[in-house]
Amino acid sequence: MTATPPATAPAPGDGLVRAGAVVFIIGAVATLVTVAPLFLGTDPFPTVAYLVSMLMGVGFMVAAAGVLRSIAAQRRQAGSAR
């Protein structure tokens, strides 16, 4: 039998990275959907569809904020260990 490693608490910023990834994926799917009519020769979608595709950039920024928060927490922890 192998021992399972102890569960670790999520690091600061992990939730932001996960949320950012979900928002990014939603934006990426919306981008694909809004570009499809260009290739299919159909009528374009309304402006709202294009606005939803902007979530791709928002998701990237949220995930980047989570990474920066995690970096800051690790630096604080390393500084307090010295």
pLDDT in tens, 48-65: 888 999 999 999 999 999
The two three-digit tokens of residue 36, written as one number: 């499809």
* Angle, CA of 25, 60 and 32, to the nearest 5°: 35
What is the mean pLDDT, run by run of 10 residues, along the chain of 82 residues? 69 90 95 90 87 93 95 87 76
pTM: 0.79
What pLDDT does 18 receive?
A: 95
Exposure b/e, 60-72, CB count within 10 A at least 16 = b: eebbeebeebbee
d(CA 34, CA 27): 10
> For position 5, what pLDDT does the model report?
64
